[in-house]
Amino acid sequence: MVVRVSTGRALLAATLGVGLAVTAQAASYPDIGPLPQLKIDKAKAELGKRLFFDVRLSGDAAISCADCHVPEKAYASKEALSPGYPGNGHFRNASSLVNTAHKNIWNWDGRIGTNLNDMTREMITEDYIMNMDMRIMQERLKQDPLYVKMFKDAGYGEPSNGSVRKAIPEFLKTLTSTGSPFDTGTMSASAKRGMKLFKGKAGCIQCHNGPLLTDLKPHNTGVPENFDVFLDPMNHQAFMAFAMFQGIPNYRNMKRDPGYFNVTLEKKDMGKFITPSLRELKYSAPYMHNGMIKTLPDVVEFYNNGGGKDSNKSKKLKPLGLSASQKKDLVAFLESLSGKPLTGSKYVWDQPYPGEYPVIENWTQVRN
């Protein structure tokens, strides 16, 4: 189930942004800087952690959130395309979940603009992602005594699918960048030069601004299609199911990812994707919505060439004329935006899950 969200305000802002770009100075963009601290409820986050890594949250109990959002990859997918649910593939690269709690719009096409509660529900129930009937999920959790205790300790009462949708976002709050040279003021000279280019000649700041280094708005940069989406029927079926459900016209004959067009069904939004954050890029390769660019130097080269080919490409993109050393400096700056890996037991549930559901004793006498 997907709700096409109204992002009228975001659209207006995007339009204004384009206008500003022509006349305004770089300084008129929200400055890049450290992320705000989030208040975290420990018990809720710990519960969310156990849920995040639990395969019982998928329909056939085969995959967990972490199968597509891999901790070592900054909680993004390992390969260009996310693996998706067993029996199908996927058509996009799973976005990094690091700092996702700081966003206000989710998915590469921006189709969720409410909160992580809704986003969690989307990922768990969507048939090509985790294909979970959340009513079954709830009853699975109630069959696990440790969950019964953890939900209670977290103040949620008995396990419920509503509380799952709160606990996982609480865990996601803990996935906030920490210790990057950019944040700690320990950038190299090269990275500092790169930051100047970032805000100036290279123009990255036009879209990659604010503490997340993204305007969280849709843009078309002309990233080439990943043909594996359409040449591999496993990926293609996930794309088709998605596009059918979203009500995208002529979806069976579509040979491209429509991106933000999915939200508005307006031609001007074809091929636009929400600007990704630039934090934790060190871990999250390959890049772009479809993983088509493998390395950071390649990303810089892509923009140095003025982006890719698309009649709907953003006017902000022009060849940059960066020298070889400038490109190196820019890469150094991008690398300085990555902090410590968010792995290890502080972030990853590393205790075993029960192999089967323990029986509730005296079943006929106790309340369900």
Residues that bind another protein in the complex, under the rule CB under 8 A: 56, 58-62, 85-88, 127-128, 131, 133, 135-136, 138-140, 142-143, 222, 224-225, 227, 230-234, 236-238, 240-242, 244-245, 252, 255-256, 271, 309-312, 356-360, 363-364, 367-368
Q: Could you give the 3-state DSSP secondary structure of residue 259?
A: strand
> By C-beta, is 137 or 322 nearer to another protein?
137
C-beta closer to another protein: residue 66 or 248: 248
> What's the closest the beta carbon of residue 238 comes to another protein, in angstroms?
7
For 11, the enclosing helix (H) or strand (E) is helix 8-23
Radius of gyration of the chain (CA): 21
Structure tokens at 61: 């109990």
Q: Which candidate, 296, 214, 305, 262, places its Cα nearest to that of 91?
A: 262
Q: How far is the CB of 229 from another protein (least distance, A)?
A: 9
Q: Longest C-alpha distance within the chain, in Å?
A: 77
- Close Cβ partners of 208 (under 8 Å, ≥ 6 residues apart): 32, 198, 214, 215, 275, 278
CB of 266 to another protein, least distance (A): 17
Enumerate the β-bridge partners of residue 273: 219
Smallest separation, CB 218 to another protein (Å): 16
Q: Rounded to the nearest whole angstrom, what is the least distance from the CB of residue 206 to another protein in the complex?
A: 22
CB 321 → another protein: shortest distance, Å? 25
Beta bridge partners of 367: none
Give the count of alpha carbons within 13 A of 300, CB side only: 24
Based on CB atoms, which residue is closest to another protein, 58 or 107?
A: 58
**What is the rounded CA–CA span in Å between residue 176 and residue 183?**
12
Nearest-approach distance from CB 204 to another protein, in angstroms: 23
Nearer to another protein, 192 or 236 (CB): 236
Cα distances from 335 to residues 164, 227, 296, 320, in angstroms, run 34, 29, 9, 20
What the block records as the tokens of 38 is: 């989030």
Give 185 or 363: the residue with its C-beta nearer to another protein: 363
- Rounded CA-CA distance 297/270 in Å is 27
In the complex with another protein, which residue's Cβ is closer, 140 or 316?
140
**201 versus 236: smaller Cβ distance to another protein:** 236
Specify whether the CB–CB gap between 230 and 90 falls below 8 A. Answer: no
The nearest distance, CB 207 to another protein, in angstroms, is: 20
The nearer residue to another protein, 129 or 195, going by C-beta atoms, is 129
Nearer to another protein, 24 or 136 (CB): 136
Are 237 and 88 in contact by the 8 Å Cβ rule? The answer is: yes
H-run or E-run covering 219: strand 218-219
- CA-nearest of 10, 6, 22 to 219 is 10
> Least separation, in Å, of the C-beta of 243 and another protein?
9
CA distance 107 to 121: 13
Structure tokens given for 191 = 């990275």
